[in-house]
Amino acid sequence: MNLPDLQDRDDVYDLVNSFYQRAFNDELLGPIFLDVAQMDLQAHMPIMCDFWETVLFRAGLYKRNALQKHVDLHAKAPLGLEHFDRWLAIWTANVDDRYAGPKAELAKVQAGRIAQSIHRRLQGRSGSQFETLGTREAAG
């Protein structure tokens, strides 16, 4: 089966909407989205499409603070590594089921980076994947 690559906002909408349908039905993530965040998917979709269209196509549409939303949610219900791993697994499977190509690969890579960064920040650490790199003192 030859899958198309992500090409425009319609594809982004399809990808994001189908992801949330899966996530809402997930036993781990569903309660977070539905009960804790009380997400209104219809209101949330334009925001998430702006986000992913900016990530994938450099559209410059997303102007919000994604981290702050997760900080607020984390204060209500702590988000652990298992939540981010599940989010990424569902996102990746959803991409793989619908799309293939450079933009689809970018969607998966960027999702991994975003999930890892937000998880680190919620733990009070640096968002950088390079936070553990140290510096050598100059030899004497």
Query: Within a domain: residue 81?
Result: yes
**DSSP output for 6-25:** P-SHHHHHHHHHHHHHHHHT
- Which of 16, 127, 29 minimizes the C-alpha distance to 77? 29
- Which of 135, 139, 107, 105 minimizes the C-alpha distance to 15? 107
**How crowded is the C-beta side of 81, counted as CA atoms within 13 Å?**
1
Whichever domain contains 78, its CATH number is 1.10.490.10
Query: Within a domain: residue 37?
Result: yes
Confidence of residue 129 (pLDDT cuts 50, 70, 90): low
> What would the mean pLDDT of 8-27 be, rounded to a whole number?
98
Query: Within a domain: residue 131?
Result: no
CB count within 10 Å of CB 7 equals: 13
Query: Within a domain: residue 32?
Result: yes
- Give the total number of structural domains in the chain: 1
pLDDT digits (tens, 9 = 90+) for 61-70: 998 888 898 9
- Which of 71, 59, 40, 39 minimizes the C-alpha distance to 103? 59
Query: Within a domain: residue 80?
Result: yes
Query: Within a domain: residue 112?
Result: yes
Domain of 116 in residue numbering reads as 9-122
pTM, full prediction: 0.87
* Backbone phi and psi for residue 62, each to the nearest 5 degrees, phi listed first: -90, 120
| Number of residues in the chain | 140
